[in-house]
Amino acid sequence: MSKDKTNLSRRNALRLIATTAAAVPVIGCSEKAAPKVELKEDKAATKPAVKNLDAPKQTLARGTPTDPDLLNPVVPWEMQLDARELAVLAALCDVIIPADEISPSASSVGAHHYINEYVSAPYSNNKADLVTIRGGVVWLDGESRRRYQGPFVELNESQKNAICEDIKWTRNAKPEFQAGARFFAKVRVLVSTAFYTTEEGMADIGYVGNRPMASFPGAPPEVLKRLGLES
Amino acid sequence: MASEDIENKEYDALIVGSGAGGGMAAYVLATAGLKVLLLEAGRSYDPVKETPMFNLPKDAPLRGGSTPEKPFGFYDATVDGGWQVPGEPYTQGSQEKGRRFDWWRARMLGGRTNHWGRISLRMGEYDFKPYSRDGLGFDWPISYQDLAPYYDKTEMLIGVYGTNEGLENTPDSSDGVLLPPPNPRAYELLAKKACDKLGIPVIPSHLAILSERLDHENIPQKLFPDNKLAQDVTRESMKSRAACFWATPCGRGCSIKANFQSTTVLLPPALATGNLDIITDAMVREVTVDKKGKANGVVYIDKDTRQEKFASARAVVVAASAAETSRILLNSKSTLFPDGIANGSGVVGKYLMDTVGAGVGGQIPALENMPAHNEDGASAMHMYMPWWLYKEQLRGDLNFARGYHIEFGGGRSMPGAGAFGGMGDFTEGAYGKDLKKACRRYYGSFVWFDGRGEMIPNDDSYCEIDKNQVDQWGIPVLKFHWKWSDQELNQAAHMHKTFAEIIEGMGGNVTTTVQTDGAKAIINGGAIIHEVGTARMGSNPKDSVLNPYCQSWEVPNLFLTDGAPFVSNADKNPTLTIMALAWRTCDYIVEQFKKRNI
């Protein structure tokens, strides 16, 4: 949620709660590092070769794929799509999720960049999707030129929609549009994730959580009434 | 501390593993005054410093979604863990469908307690004596009454919310033990209404999350009436824990310590006694024995130097997780124990169990277009359904012998990776403003029901050492053998049928396939991550590894405090029982030290 809707930013609220709870220093998690101990390794191993005692040393994330820095996430792979491909995807993102009176369009919150991040990931599923997306972009531009003599990004709204009508659902798309429909379905899935995981998308559907509160209120009375659950 | 002090340090007890069982052992033994050394195979980890509490999905790679390296998503607290750990393979006895066991591990301080769902259900009277009840499986050598006081103590220590409902084989806690549960969400109440008509009870869930702060003035005194050290460190630890603020997912860990993790609740007070030392990145290979056949320490691999080292103590407590514990025992071969330490019975590795899992999803029109309201809560269910058909089962009216409970979710939770991914098919291809309208309409109207059922131990489900493979630490790996019986398959099919009935009772539509074939409904062995058994306790050394105090029959100073001693695996999630059993075992260890038996 946007920070201006509450007096406390989330992080400050967290800090406040954490400090008031810990009136006493947190045991066993003190900042002091355990003393570094040099060991003589040439002795017979009859005693434990203990190296860091009392408390384990405070190692943090190692920055590997199985142990990334959770507090400071980074995308560790290179992006694969080029500017021209991204421009086509941005235009398609906005056909799938356009701006309306409630929220902005998908491309304005960077949905096409998320698609790039997704298809560039080094995992087998993502690599397969990279082929689908790249091939789909070529097909979409080709189809635009065949029908309207121009690239997809230069088509007007009704021209874009006319193509999308033919590929909007794999189950009833004509055989010649099946590949386009599979491409469209994949983009729709990725755009949905991209858009609804932003503050703008969350606000659009009325997600109002992720804010600290003293007690959990449960279902509000108007909701219970609509469900016929009033006690 | 000067180095010569360390080299001369004599430990009373050495613990392998720092999760639910190892963390509890460290806490109980250190507060009792024993000098304790704990070895953990993974790295050190502190949820207070490392938990991304409020980060949004969009802040993470792939919107926080699942990857091979982070199977529960980027933000899951598990680090260096999963069903596959690089450099630490395991093998399968069969590649046939339904014959695999997928082995989850968490190589980090606190182990799986950093990740678990915090569902804290007590096993009941029937669960300890299943063979006596229906002639299947095996009885435990202890009864519910033996463990009940330790359930109370564990719940008071870790903080569990819930209620006492007096239901059959769903034990009540003693008065004043449980914290009040949070208010239910709308979809939970709607499910309850449907279940009322089906005769299925829906009651507040029991989760190890502080719905309010613990009573640090009085609980330590109740837990340790005669032990001032234990009272002091427990009081300070309890003071440091805040109550839940009903936001942020528990699976990331909890920097305010509202939920239970070994790393915030068990290890800090144990360290505060001054009696506990911890070595991390220490991968234990085997337990060693002296000439008299007593355990005298362990050989471990220091992961930093990749060299074997030795640590000694007067007693050894293994709590490495059930299968890993058996791997260590089976790899501990000597002239006295040629088939592995404590394995004269040949039962080590046998009777491996997981929980039966199957699920069905649905969409509920009544929940469409709801006014915006906050349904975060405890980030897990506030209500659940305990097993209810005990009488029908006993009469033989069902085609499976043991029960399951139902966990369910839904509602207006934070959208993450995959949000509205199914909307294309659900709306027959909507895009544009129609898609946005559909997302608004349907958000919060999807529900999911999961069964968690009892598996009866069988001869075909076990692990052994694979003679042909070692891991990157040079340690022989496990080979798993797995087979569900008709008991589990029929139960899984029953789950699907029940969940469809509940969804329809809510006026909804099932959105996944309801299987009548249990083999198609059931999830892989190991997928529910409730691995227990493989070194069971019993009343006879010939067919069990441990006595009723989780003490090896053959090696009197060797104890197991994880899920390995389990004789059966009730539908109840095992972590609470692992901790209660570990506490009881450690009280016994302290007693044996006092009597100078160890």
Contact B398, B392 (CB under 8 A): yes
Please state, in angstroms and rounded to a whole number, the distance separating the CA atoms of residues A175 and A161.
19
Tell me the CA end-to-end span of chain B in Å, nearest whole number: 28
pLDDT-derived band at A57 (thresholds 50, 70, 90) equals low
Angle of CA points B451, B394, B531, to nearest 5°:
40
CB A121 within 8 A of CB A82: no
The minimal CB distance from B279 to the residues A52, A67, A118 is found for A52
Is it the case that residue A23 has pLDDT exceeding 70? no
HSE, CB side, 13 Å, CA atoms: give it for residue B345: 24
From the list B318, B282, B316, B278, the residue with the least C-alpha distance to B300 is: B282
DSSP A108: G
ipTM, two decimals, is 0.94
Delimit the domains of chain B by residue range. 1-53+93-145+229-239+250-355+458-480+531-598, 162-204+357-453+485-521
Is A216 within 8 Å of B440 when comparing Cβ atoms? no
Residue B284 φ/ψ, nearest 5 degrees: -80, 135
- Closest partner CB to A229 (pick from B54, B189, B233): B189
Indicate the DSSP class of residue B344: T
Between CA B547 and CA A165 the distance in angstroms is: 70
Give the mean model confidence (pLDDT) for residues A151-165. 98
Closest Cα of chain B to A188: distance in Å? 7
A21 neighbourhood in chain B, CB within 8 Å: 213, 239-242, 256-257
Picking from A196, A202, A204, A213 by the largest number of B CB atoms within 10 A of its own CB, the best residue to mutate is A196
- Give the strands of the sheet with B509-510, arranged side by side: B404-410, B446-453, B356-363, B509-510
Q: Do B415 and A97 touch (CB under 8 A)?
A: no
Q: Cβ–Cβ contacts within 10 Å for residue B5, how many?
A: 10
Name the minimum distance, in Å, from the CA of A229 to any CA of chain B. 7
Convert the pLDDT of each residue in B444-467 to its tens digit: 999 999 999 999 999 999 999 999
Per-residue pLDDT at A55: 56
CB atoms B62 and A55 under 8 Å: no
What is the pairing mode between strands B462-470 and B476-481? antiparallel
Long-range contacts of B423-427 (CB under 8 A, 24+ apart): B423/A188, B423/A192, B424/A169, B424/A185, B424/A188, B424/A189, B425/A169, B425/A171, B426/B363, B426/B511
CB B185 within 8 A of CB B382: yes
Question: Closest partner residue to A209 among B57, B302, B376, by Cβ?
Answer: B376
Say yes or no: domain B1-53+93-145+229-239+250-355+458-480+531-598 is CATH 3.50.50.60.
yes
Do residue A97 and residue B435 have CB atoms under 8 angstroms apart? Answer: yes
**Rounded CA separation A199/A206 (Å):** 10
Beta strands in B245-346 (DSSP E): 276-279, 282-289, 295-302, 307-312, 315-318
Q: Is B236:B272 a contact under the CB 8 Å cutoff?
A: yes
pLDDT value at position A49? 43
Instruction: Compute the distance between CA of residue B402 and CA of residue B31 in angstroms, rounded to an integer.
Output: 39
Dihedral angle over CA of B464, B465, B470, B471, nearest 10: 40
Cβ–Cβ below 8 Å for B423 and A57: no
- The alpha-carbon gap from A116 to the nearest alpha carbon of chain B, in Å, equals 10
Q: How many CB pairs under 8 A join A and B?
A: 330
Is the CB of A49 less than 8 angstroms away from the CB of B309?
A: yes
Asked if pLDDT for residue A41 goes beyond 60, the answer is no
Nearest CA distance, B52 vs chain A (angstrom):
5
pLDDT at A60: 81
Contact A192 B439 (CB under 8 A): yes
pTM above 0.90, yes or no: yes
Which of B280, B431, B446 is best to mutate for the A interface (most A CBs within 10 A)?
B431
Pairing status of strand B295-302 against strand B307-312 = antiparallel
- Closest partner residue to B415 (CB to CB) among A24, A196, A212 is A196
Cβ-based contacts of B309 with chain A (< 8 Å): 45, 48-49
Please identify every stretch of chain B with a pLDDT value under 70, giving residue numbers as ranges.
1-8
Tens of pLDDT, residues A98-155: 999 999 999 999 999 999 999 999 999 999 999 999 999 999 999 999 999 999 999 9
Q: Best of A67, A120, A199, A200 to disrupt the B interface by mutation (most B CBs within 10 Å)?
A: A67
CB contact under 8 A, A121 and B1: no
Q: If you measure CA to CA, which chain B residue comes closest to A225?
A: B186
Structure token pair of residue B156: 């008071």
Amino acid of residue B161: Y
Q: How far is CA B79 from CA A29, B83, B116, B285, B386, in A?
A: 19, 12, 13, 21, 32
What residue segments make up the domains of chain A, in order of their start? Answer: 79-196
The pLDDT value recorded for residue B266 is 98
Q: Do B310 and A48 touch (CB under 8 A)?
A: yes
Roughly how many angstroms between the first and final C-alpha of chain A, as a whole number? 32
> Do B582 and B319 contact (CB within 8 A), yes or no?
yes
Q: By CA distance, what is A102's nearest residue in B?
A: B436
Q: Which residue's structure tokens are 């891991």? A: B471
CA–CA distance from B150 to each of B153, B156, B160, B178 (Å)?
Answer: 5, 10, 14, 14
CA-atom Rg of chain B in angstroms: 24
C-alpha dihedral, B255 to B256 to B258 to B259, nearest 10° = 10
- Give the separation between CA B401 and CA B134, rounded to whole angstroms: 7
The whole-angstrom distance between B148's CA and the closest CA on chain A is 29
Residues of A in contact with B3 (CB under 8 A): 37-40
CB of B192 closer than 8 Å to CB of B183: no
